[in-house]
A and B are shown apart, each in its own frame.
Chain A
Amino acid sequence: MTIKERQDEIIDEFSIFSDWMDKYEYIISLGKELPIIDESKKTEDNIIKGCQSQVWLDGQLVDGKIVFTADSDAIITKGIIALLIRVVSDQTPDEILNNELYFIDQIGLKEHLSPTRSNGLVSMVKKMKLFALGYKAKTEN
């Protein structure tokens, strides 16, 4: 599935939630299910310190695609990370760099990706793109 298809799938899933509680309960359950990042990858390089919560993100190149693993100390942040990983992980660097993430907006979680939220998610998306840039440069050289 392309990044676009994965985003549309999530938007479709979220359309069934009639109230905020259902939506957040789902995000919380995603957060609880998120495969935890390997402890050895929780390095100073991989930490993103938000004012409110912190995020760890690691990306490994496997067969030309980047596999992301991540974690956060806050469960809602973690749930949104799970969604981001579902969309962006296991895609080529080019795909990651060339696609806009619009689903967060569409499922009504825009405020979580606002710079003022300081939960580390904005920086996390930036860092995902940086991983893609880094691996792209590596594979092309």
Chain B
Amino acid sequence: MNAPEDIAAILDDMAGQLAAHVGKHGANAPAMVGIHTGGVWVAEQLHRRLQLDEPLGSLDISFYRDDFTRIGMNPVVQPSELPFTIDDRHIILVDDVLHTGRTIRAALNELFDYGRPASILLAALIERDGRELPIEASVVGRHVSLQPNEHIKLTGPSPLRLEIQQTA
């Protein structure tokens, strides 16, 4: 399978789905949070399209990973920035690729260490098979079928490009 090329069109579509989803669930004044690094790039695009009032937040989930004891910490950890209160807020959590679900698990734990959100909705640019946790996105840009030895990677921030890589 080839990597999707027209990312702008996918983002337009996601923004439409998000607006509908937020409206349907009455999630007033939502705040958006991207997960470092690719998720922040996607979130920047969606944030602009949705014209949200709250500034964009970002999470680096390195301190919340479940594999620290096996692979250690990332060499450079970006500080997480949530420039709004989490308590009672509707949060749109954004990542580039939803795969095992472990990144989202870590992000949820970190968000709860900042407060008690009213709700969290997950938006992923790409969804692929291989979930290891019961986590699904509410809004998905594209579903991509990949072999277990294939990875899809977002590069950016401008231009945003998707690449499928093979691992030996």
Question: Bound pair: A and B?
Answer: no
